[in-house]
Structure 1
Amino acid sequence: MKFGTKAIHAGVEPDPSTGAIMTPIYQTSTYVQASPGDHKGYEYSRTHNPTRDALQKSIAALENGNHGLCFSSGLAAIDAVIKLLSPGDEVIAANDLYGGTYRMFTKVFAKYGIKFHFVSLEKADSISELINKNTKLIWLETPTNPMMNIIDIAAVSEIAKKHNLLLAVDNTFATPYLQNPMDMGADIVMHSVTKYLGGHSDVVMGALVVNDEKLKDDLAFIQNSCGATPGPQDCFLVLRGIKTLHIRMDRHCENGRKVAEFLKDHPKVENVYWPGLESHPNHEVAKKQMKDFGGMISFTLKGDSKAEAFRIMESFRFFSLAESLGGIESMVNHPATMTHASIPREERLKIGLLDSLIRLSVGIEDADDLIADLKAALA
């Protein structure tokens, strides 16, 4: 089944009682049992809900995985993965990752005795020297947030399998339309469903996809026991959003390329970070593991003026200054003071996250209008 067909049909069946073509919103907390224990698979909606079940099957299918689990946010999904570990275990993570992930690792789980190593993963060989008997998990994003670095998933997977480690990949920026980490050896694929999968800036949700049955059972136990599950209304909205994912992503990519090319040649712009540019580090890896290069772009200004970056971001007409990304509307973000403020400045500077760095989530508006907006703001 091709991706566009999966996006519309995978995991979704007509409602057996009415024939409704859209999965109904099962807005119920509990289910009537004919006798104690006779619940036909549904007993309480924290544990299972038919709307959520359909969404979990859909997301798993999109990622070419066997099992999907949805959570109340992307961070709740990450939280479940780290809860697989025990005190004394160690995690190797990219040194360029979402600020909320970094905050969770360092401020929440580190105090429970889990040790995190943050390193550049653009060269997979850098991982091996950190692996010891306590290492249990490699966590990576690709493209990374916000520097758009590309990590070779297959190369990291080879190392993970050699040392019997779990490999988890945050695939939020690429989406399953552009990249399928499970096909390259990942054990866990994570999504902030809030972003491209939902696609309309009206849902907060996270998801995990796995193949291994035991891993699924362990994560499902955490999902149910800790209770960070999404409601059926949100699941319905994401099921609706997924049906146009492939169409939206084509436009995000098309507009992203035009915006990146414009910024690359602008006299006020110092660096443009978009994996589709031939000058981008690991561009060849991106070509190998991605279908296209997405609508996420970061850039810095000549002179690295934070004040000038603020002036530009406050001047847009169509790029909305806001947290989040991946919606149909274009957004602009200042990572140093917004999404990545929890990362100490000295750590941010090590990876090139300068005070003038601006992150764009290029939407699906007309590209000419977006470029005119950028031109006016940068003037």
Structure 2
Amino acid sequence: MPRPAYFVAMKPRLHAEDPVADPGFETLCAHFGEDPAGQFGAASVPIYQTSTFIYPDAEAFEARRGPDTPHYDYTRGGNPTAAVLEAKLARLERGAWAESFGSGMGAISAAINLAVRSDAHVVCVGNVYSPTSAYLRHIERFGVRTTFVRDVDPQAFIDAITPATRLMYLESPTTGLFEILDVRAITSVCRERGIVTIFDNSCASSLFQSPLEMGCDLVVHSATKYIGGHSDVVAGMVIGRDERLRDRLFREIELCGATLDPFAAWLLVRGLRTLALRMRHHEQAALTVALVLSGHQAVRKVHHPGLESHPQHTLAKSQMRGFSSLFSFELVDQSREATLTFLNRLRLFRQGVSWGGHESLAIGGRLFGGPNPQSRVIRLHCGLESIPDLVADVVQALA
């Protein structure tokens, strides 16, 4: 097969082994992909803060282009610090490989790009991460059309498929309303028809959900959120079910340049060491606050799939091993003034975009595309503060 016009060296793949037989999630986070003996005994993964990798002689430099002799060449195409992160995420997501990016949208756009062409059709969940929907609309200028499905019934997704459909893009829980999709029912049809399925697992995390095992081809993460966990890094990840799409994604990385820098990769490796501990606190905090809100007279509805009152609670339990920091709710008083009053009374919950960090966050506004487009919802991210303090904060803000 002839080489493409722009040929780059393929980076080495880190072949890691489980540290013990049948390791738990926490053990994988702590040790998988690491080799202290090969890094002078350092307990922390080294930061290879370099743009260029030097070769000992001209023959070695020339050999880097061989298909059977991959080498680090230039950090845009791979870095040893990022390789540890990628090995961990591939193992945690139960995938074959992972690639890192300089932002969540870098990962999402690259994954979408590898699946579509100028005449492609995309089916996407309606209540999706808003930058994702914006990107899908952005590439309409290249002839890519998207159908946004506002229903959670899997048949609605199947009915939206056309002969031109190349990509199914899913989130579950969904953004805003935290609806649950029957992932297996959708992916089984996609696999029969040769449609690539991408799943954004940022909301649930690798600890609580495994989309690849439910038939998805690619998983994307905004690693800025739970993987980093401290609101101090911007990054993204793509994890693949098998080798089919890896080379195509690598071309997107090389030619679009959404590279993760080595220090950011190190921060994410550090974040993974405490991921399970943080996620369990996030889960308990959010469930506790959601239960309190569900019984409050000022609250009309709570959207949390971990509550038995959620219409898809049973489906959620069948697909997920736990729940995250996020949920939303609606006030009885749906006026803008009531929403702003509640938000401004909060003391621990700060107002800001994103989520997944140590600090609790709250945002509010109209929910577009839900069952009632005029509904005002308030989304909470329950951070790592004391759970009784978080409960007290929302209760006093509702008073």
Which one of 284, 289, 300 corresponds to residue 259 of structure 1? 289
- Per the alignment, do residues 353 and 265 of structure 1 end up closer, same or farther by CA in structure 2, a change over 3 Å counting? farther
Q: Could you tell me which residue of structure 2 aligns to residue 58 of structure 1? A: 88
| 1:279-358 equivalent positions in 2, closer than 5 A | 279-336=309-366, 348-352=368-372, 354=374, 356-358=376-378
Distance 1:277 1:148 in 2: 11
Q: Could you tell me which residue of structure 1 aligns to residue 73 of structure 2? A: 43
Q: Could you tell me which residue of structure 2 aligns to residue 99 of structure 1? A: 130
- Per the alignment, do residues 335 and 80 of structure 1 end up closer, same or farther by CA in structure 2, a change over 3 Å counting? farther
Secondary structure in 2 aligned to 1:164? coil
Q: CA RMSD in A?
A: 1.5
Q: How many residues align?
A: 368
Q: Could you tell me which residue of structure 1 aligns to residue 256 of structure 2? A: 226
Q: Could you tell me which residue of structure 2 aligns to residue 362 of structure 1? A: 382
Letter in 2 for 1:16: G
Secondary structure in 1 aligned to 2:36? coil
TM-score (norm 2): 0.89
Distance 2:210 2:310 in 1: 21
Residues 205-262 of structure 1 deviation map (CA, whole Å, 9 limit, x = unaligned):
1101002213011101111111101101110001000111111111111111110100
Distance 1:350 1:205 in 2: 29
Q: Could you tell me which residue of structure 1 aligns to residue 54 of structure 2? A: 32
Gaps of 5+ in 2: 1-22, 65-69
Residues 1:206 and 2:236 aligned together:
yes
Residues 321-352 of structure 1 deviation map (CA, whole Å, 9 limit, x = unaligned):
1110011221112254xxxxxxxx7xx15444
| 1:61-72 equivalent positions in 2, closer than 5 A | 61-72=91-102
Letter in 2 for 1:12: E
Letter in 1 for 2:378: I
190-199 vs 14-23, greater mean Cα deviation:
14-23
Question: CA offset at residue 81 of structure 1?
Answer: 1.5
Residues 352 and 363 in structure 2, CA contact (< 8 A), matched pair in contact too: yes
Question: CA offset at residue 164 of structure 1?
Answer: 1.4
Residues 150 and 369 in structure 2, CA contact (< 8 A), matched pair in contact too: no
Gaps of 5+ in 1: 337-344
Residues 216 and 241 in structure 2, CA contact (< 8 A), matched pair in contact too: no
Residues 25-54 of structure 1 deviation map (CA, whole Å, 9 limit, x = unaligned):
111010111223355611100011111111
Residues 327 and 363 in structure 1, CA contact (< 8 A), matched pair in contact too: yes
Residues 264-305 of structure 1 deviation map (CA, whole Å, 9 limit, x = unaligned):
011111110000111212111100011112221101111311
| 1:1-150 equivalent positions in 2, closer than 5 A | 1-14=23-36, 16-34=38-56, 35=58, 36-38=61-63, 41-84=71-114, 85-106=116-137, 108-150=138-180
Percent identity at matched positions?
A: 36
Residues 306 and 355 in structure 1, CA contact (< 8 A), matched pair in contact too: no
Residues 328 and 378 in structure 2, CA contact (< 8 A), matched pair in contact too: yes
- Per the alignment, do residues 316 and 234 of structure 1 end up closer, same or farther by CA in structure 2, a change over 3 Å counting? same
TM-score (norm 1): 0.94
Residues 158 and 186 in structure 2, CA contact (< 8 A), matched pair in contact too: no
Letter in 2 for 1:369: D
Please identify runs of 4+ aligned residues in structure 1 that moved more than 2 A.
36-40, 349-356
